[in-house]
Amino acid sequence: MSNIGFFISKLNTIGNLTKANILLEEEVLKLRSDLAALNELKEENVFLREVLGLDRIIGRDIIDAKTFNLQFTPEGHYMLVNEGLRAGIKNGSIVVSSSGVLIGRIIEVSDNFSRVALITNLDFKVTVRLLHGKTAGISKGLLNDGLFLDFIAQDDEIESGDVLVTSGNDIFPAGLIVGTVDNVSSDTGNVFKSVTAKAELNDINISRVLIVNR
């Protein structure tokens, strides 16, 4: 074979390999796309199953919404959802996750979006109790420091690791997960214990939420 023939043969081989690589890359991209679609479908199915279970517990109208513009500043913890008056959202509506975690409540409503105050906000209060136990109190937001539990008497049984849920003694449905106790301090000189907790919303995906009308 002449040098020219050998060179042309090499070029053809390289061309064929390049085409094969392109086809393989396209196949990989398609497989990745199919996998992403499958994962999204699985997540959607999980979300819908959780919503159905939550709907049975809450027994109220539930509106699905997506979140954006999360704000964690010294002035407060807020976010926006992409549903508003046109979807039936009302001021004061409760915001929860599909898994039953209390996230916050609606404080402003426009036609197509609403503003949410998170449970870690300084002015956010909700009555809570231990998931396993009778101890109850009021959770107050501490911004980046999580939650503070007020009105926990010195003889109340509570310890680090205890799970807090809504008690249902206010506007919030009972049984929603609020957080986990992370510190308990007792002082016989005070009427109440000093108790702080970590908000559950910090450990979950809140890109998609449920609005529960009161």
pLDDT score for 108: 97
Same domain, 52 and 73: no
Q: Is the pLDDT of residue 69 over 70?
A: yes
Same-domain check for residues 44 and 79: no
Write down the pLDDT at residue 188.
78
Residues 52 and 153 in one domain: no
Amino acid in the structure at residue 205? N
pLDDT at 41: 46
d(CA 192, CA 88): 41
Reported as a single tens digit per residue, the pLDDT across 12-68 is 565 666 666 776 776 766 666 555 555 554 554 455 455 545 554 455 678 889 999
At 1 the pLDDT is: 52
Regarding whether 99 and 13 lie in a shared domain, the answer is no
Say what the pLDDT of residue 81 is. 97
CATH code, 182: 2.40.10.340
Same domain, 20 and 102: no
Asked whether residue 190 falls in the same domain as residue 103, the answer is: yes
How many structural domains comprise the chain?
2
- Yes or no: say if 63 and 210 are a contact pair by the CB < 8 Å rule: yes
Q: What is the pLDDT of residue 39?
A: 54
19 vs 181 pLDDT, higher one: 181
Domain that holds residue 159: 61-214
* Segment 95-145, tens digit of pLDDT: 998 888 999 999 999 999 999 999 999 999 999 999 988 899 999 999 999
pLDDT band for 198, please (50, 70, 90 cuts). Answer: very high
Cα–Cα distances in angstroms (integers) from residue 131 to residues 120, 145, 158, 202, in the given order? 20, 22, 11, 19
| Alpha-carbon span 125 to 122, nearest angstrom | 8
Domain boundary among 59, 80, 105: 59
Residue 112 C-alpha from the chain's centroid:
21
